[in-house]
Amino acid sequence: MNSTILETIRRRINESNTMTNEPVPICNKHQVSKHWAPTTFGYDEDGISIKVPNVYAWICPSDGEASFTPETTDELIVTVRELITPAKRARDRRSMPTEYIVSVG
C-alpha cells in the first residue's frame, strides 16, 4: 500500500479523534463515566490480525472497553479494508515475514 494512502488514513483518524462538547457517556454495564483516551483498535479475520494504535475513544475505566465515535469507526473500517487484502495476499504466497509494522508520520 502506498504511503500517501496510509498518511491520508492516519490524518483522517486523527482529525476524527477530537473530543466534542457532548456529555461524557456512561458505561451501561458498570454505570461509571467513561474517559476520552487513546487505545488500540484490533480486528481479526481469517487468521489475520490488524491493530491500529493511538486511536481515541471513550474508555470504560472498569474494564477498558472502548467506544469509538461514528466518524472514527468509519475511518477504521476503511483502514481495515485497505490493509486486509494485501495481508491475505502475503499469507497466501506464504511470505516469510509474518508481521509487518507500518507507521506514518
- Output the average pLDDT for the chain: 83
pLDDT value of residue 17: 45
Q: Is 63 helix (H, G, I), strand (E, B) or coil?
A: coil
Q: Read off the pLDDT band of 5 (50, 70, 90).
A: low
Domains, the chain: 3-18+25-92 (3.10.20.860)
**Section 10-34 average pLDDT:** 73
Beta-carbon contacts of 69 under 8 Å, excluding residues fewer than 6 positions away, are 16, 20, 57
Nearest to 79 by CA among 53, 57, 97: 53
- In 1-105, where does DSSP find H-type helix? 3-15, 70-92
